[in-house]
C-alpha cells in the first residue's frame, strides 16, 4: 500500500508547540528569574537611596531655604551653596568644553591614527579612571598652594580647574566618537566644492555630530556637579553669598561640600540643611541625566 504525499508530510512534520515541562524550558525559566532578581537587586540600592533622600530632605524644602545663606543657625538655608555650585560648574565647563571638543576634533579629523593619537586616547582612558581626589590634590599643589592666581589660595577658579580635569575624558571621548559617526561622503562633498578642511569641520562635521557631543558634555557636567573631594582641596567653603565677579577668586560654598561639612556635625539644624542640600543636588543631577537621555533620543529620531 502506497502512502499519499499529504499523509507523509503530516507524519514527518515536527511538533513545534511550546512544552513547559521540558527540562530546557524549565532551566530557561529558572535563569530568566535569576537574571530578573539580580537586576532588581542591582537597582534596589539606587531606589533606596533616592527614597531615603526624598523622605529626609524633601520635607525640609521651602522658599527660605533658597533665599538664605548656609550660616548653620536656625533658619539658615543653602542659597549660597546653590549659586556656588552653578558658578564652579560653569567655570569647569568653560575650561573643559573648548579643550575637550578641540581634543576630540584633533583625534577624529587631524591625527590620522598615529602614535600621538593612540597616546592621547590611552591617556584619556586612564584619566577617566583616576579618583577625583587625585585631581583635587594636583590642583591644590599647582594653584592653591602656590597662590598663582592673583595671590589667592582657595578659590572658585581652582575648583573649576579641578572639576574640568574630571570632565575632560568624557568630552574628548564623546567628541571623538561622535565625529566618527559622521559619514565621510559629507566631508568629500564639502571638499569637492572647494571648502577647506577647517570650514568643512566647522560648517559640516561639527553640526552633524552636535547631538552626541552635547550629550557627552551634559553627562560630564552631571559628574562634575556632584564631586566633593576636589572642591575640599580647592574651593573650600564659605558661609557668605558670592559678591560680584571677585567671588570667583575667593573660597565659595557648594552643595557637595556643604553636605560633607554639615552631615557630620552634632546639631539638628545643620543635619537638616545637609539633607535638604542632598535632595536638591540629587534632583539637579537627575534632571541633567534626563536631559542627556532626551538628547540621545533626539539623535535617534
CATH number at residue 184: 1.10.3720.10
10 part of a folded domain: no
CA atoms of 45 and 23, how far apart (whole Å):
34
Q: Which domain holds residue 273?
A: 74-300
CA atoms of 146 and 169, how far apart (whole Å):
26
49 part of a folded domain: no
176 part of a folded domain: yes
The number of domains in the chain is: 1
16 part of a folded domain: no
190 part of a folded domain: yes
63 part of a folded domain: no
8 part of a folded domain: no
pTM for the whole thing? 0.83
Each residue's pLDDT expressed in tens, for the chain with a length of 301 residues: 455 555 455 556 666 676 777 788 888 989 999 999 999 999 999 899 889 998 888 888 888 888 888 875 565 788 899 999 999 999 999 999 999 999 999 999 888 778 888 999 999 999 888 899 999 999 999 999 998 887 788 999 999 999 999 999 999 999 999 998 888 888 889 888 888 888 999 888 988 888 889 888 988 998 888 889 999 999 999 888 888 888 889 999 999 999 998 888 888 888 888 899 999 999 888 888 888 888 777 655 5
284 part of a folded domain: yes
Amino acid at each position: 500500500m502506497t502512502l499519499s504525499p499529504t499523509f507523509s508530510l503530516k507524519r514527518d512534520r515536527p511538533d513545534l508547540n511550546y512544552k513547559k515541562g521540558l527540562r530546557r524550558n524549565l532551566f530557561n525559566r529558572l535563569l530568566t528569574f535569576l537574571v530578573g532578581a539580580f537586576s532588581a537587586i542591582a537597582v534596589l540600592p539606587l531606589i533606596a537611596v533616592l527614597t531615603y533622600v526624598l523622605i529626609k530632605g524633601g520635607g525640609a524644602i521651602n522658599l527660605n531655604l533658597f533665599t538664605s545663606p548656609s550660616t548653620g543657625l536656625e533658619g539658615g538655608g543653602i542659597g549660597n551653596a546653590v549659586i556656588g555650585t552653578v558658578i564652579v560648574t560653569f567655570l569647569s565647563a568653560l575650561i573643559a568644553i573648548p579643550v575637550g571638543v578641540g581634543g576630540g576634533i584633533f583625534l577624529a579629523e587631524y591625527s590620522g591614527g598615529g602614535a600621538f593619537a593612540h597616546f592621547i586616547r590611552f591617556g584619556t582612558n586612564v584619566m577617566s579612571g583616576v579618583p577625583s581626589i587625585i585631581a583635587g590634590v594636583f590642583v591644590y599643589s599647582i594653584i592653591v598652594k602656590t597662590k598663582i592666581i592673583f595671590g589667592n589660595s582657595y578659590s572658585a577658579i581652582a575648583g573649576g580647574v579641578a572639576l574640568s580635569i574630571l570632565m575632560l575624558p568624557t568630552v574628548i571621548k564623546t567628541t571623538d566618537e561622535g565625529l566618527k559617526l559622521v559619514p565621510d561622503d559629507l566631508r568629500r562633498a564639502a571638499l569637492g566644492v572647494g571648502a577647506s578642511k577647517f570650514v568643512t569641520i566647522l560648517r559640516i562635521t561639527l553640526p552633524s555630530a552636535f547631538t552626541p557631543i552635547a550629550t557627552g558634555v551634559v553627562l560630564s557636567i552631571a559628574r562634575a556637579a556632584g564631586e566633593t573631594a576636589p572642591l575640599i582641596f580647592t574651593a573650600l567653603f564659605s558661609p557668605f553669598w558670592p559678591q560680584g565677579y571677585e567671588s570667583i577668586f575667593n573660597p565659595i560654598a557648594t552643595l557637595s561640600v556643604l553636605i560633607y561639612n554639615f552631615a557630620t556635625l552634632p546639631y539638628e539644624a545643620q543635619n537638616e540643611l545637609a539633607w535638604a542640600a542632598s535632595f536638591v543636588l540629587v534632583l539637579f543631577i537627575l534632571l541633567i541625566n534626563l536631559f542627556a537621555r532626551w538628547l540621545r533620543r533626539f539623535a535617534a529620531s
